[in-house]
């Protein structure tokens, strides 16, 4: 399949909406994140009010800051781990070759869970190093390594091998991939702005806006899966491409 910028960009949102299994995973993920944010806000608000009052003893302020840090880190860790599971399920479901139902996709995500965490950590470290070396190197590394997650889940590769496969698969297609990711990101950003406007319509509308913004945010993950599928012949294991031995 050719890497068609328009089609891949459009299909990223089409798959998100039309693939029922993908939509279920995304809805669960966004609902969980929204609920977790609400719990976090509920827990943090009294502490913030106490700290900002300026009437607390120094020791109590330090204890309040410690509580803030503990709650924040707990929420971040839980959100990250559950997000990894959801991402694995979305990738498994969006893979055109798998035809996985929800249970099968969830099982596959759990099987690849720790591999995905390792891939995520390595990817983030490399990407951040690239950003520190000015933004352009970071963007370039992101484009070259963006298929590591599909490689980890679909092709069942370890984190280092997945990064290597992504690097090989994206060679020569950097501009097309960047264009697809940029288009999807811009559309998601615009949807987020429009959804954010609902905050002025009341609390219920604000929750709906957060949900809409989070839902369409998963289009980026799906775009990476579709790019992976388009470049799959390039990212096949080297053993399958071995040349026949020359006859003597």
What is the tens place of the pLDDT at every residue in 39-78? 777 776 776 666 666 665 555 656 767 777 887 788 889 9
Given this model, what pLDDT does residue 152 score? 96
Residue 145 exposure: Cα atoms within 13 Å on the Cβ side: 23
* Least confident segment among 24-28, 34-38, 169-173, 236-240: 236-240
Are 25 and 90 a contacting pair, CB within 8 Å? yes
Which comes out higher in pLDDT, residue 39 or 166?
Answer: 166
- Average pLDDT estimate for 161-190: 95
Given this model, what pLDDT does residue 201 score? 75
What is the tens place of the pLDDT at every residue in 83-137?
999 999 999 999 876 777 999 999 999 999 999 999 999 999 999 998 888 788 8
Which comes out higher in pLDDT, residue 196 or 221?
Answer: 221
Given this model, what pLDDT does residue 51 score? 62
DSSP 157: -
What is the tens place of the pLDDT at every residue in 73-97?
888 899 999 999 999 999 999 987 6
pTM: 0.83
How far CA 211 is from CA of 32, 59, 73, 191, 197, in Å, comes to 10, 39, 23, 11, 13
Are 185 and 217 a contacting pair, CB within 8 Å? no
Given this model, what pLDDT does residue 240 score? 43
Which comes out higher in pLDDT, residue 184 or 67?
Answer: 184
Given this model, what pLDDT does residue 233 score? 59
- Average pLDDT estimate for 2-9: 88
Which comes out higher in pLDDT, residue 75 or 161?
Answer: 161
Are 228 and 154 a contacting pair, CB within 8 Å? yes
H-assigned helices in 57-202: 58-94, 102-111, 113-132, 135-145, 148-153, 159-169, 174-196
Given this model, what pLDDT does residue 3 score? 84
Q: Does the pLDDT at position 160 exceed 80? A: yes
**Taking all residues of the chain, what is their mean pLDDT, rounded to a whole number?**
85
* Least confident segment among 11-15, 42-46, 150-154, 194-198: 42-46
Q: How far apart are CA 37 and CA 42, in angstroms?
A: 9
């Amino acid at each position: 399949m050719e890497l068609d910028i328009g089609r891949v960009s459009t299909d990223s949102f089409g798959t998100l909406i039309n693939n029922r299994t993908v939509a279920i995973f995304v809805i669960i993920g966004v609902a969980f994140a929204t609920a977790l944010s609400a719990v976090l806000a509920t827990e943090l608000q009294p502490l913030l009010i106490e700290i900002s009052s300026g009437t607390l003893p120094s020791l109590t302020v330090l204890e309040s800051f410690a509580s803030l840090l503990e709650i924040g880190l707990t929420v971040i860790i839980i959100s990250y781990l559950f997000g990894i599971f959801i991402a694995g399920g979305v990738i498994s479901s969006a893979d055109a070759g798998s035809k996985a139902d929800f249970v099968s996709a969830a099982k596959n995500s759990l099987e690849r869970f720790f591999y995905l965490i390792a891939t995520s950590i390595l990817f983030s470290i490399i990407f951040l190093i690239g950003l520190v070396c000015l933004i352009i190197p970071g963007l370039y590394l992101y484009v070259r390594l963006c298929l590591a997650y599909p490689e980890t889940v679909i092709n069942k590769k370890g984190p280092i091998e997945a990064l290597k496969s992504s690097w090989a698969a994206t060679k020569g297609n950097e501009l097309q991939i960047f264009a697809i990711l940029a288009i999807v990101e811009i559309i998601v950003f615009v949807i987020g702005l429009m959804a954010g406007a609902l905050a002025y319509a009341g609390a219920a509308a604000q929750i709906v806006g957060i949900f809409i913004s989070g839902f369409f945010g998963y289009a980026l993950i799906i775009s990476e899966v579709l790019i992976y599928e388009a470049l799959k012949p390039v990212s096949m294991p080297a053993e399958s491409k071995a040349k026949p031995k020359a006859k003597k």
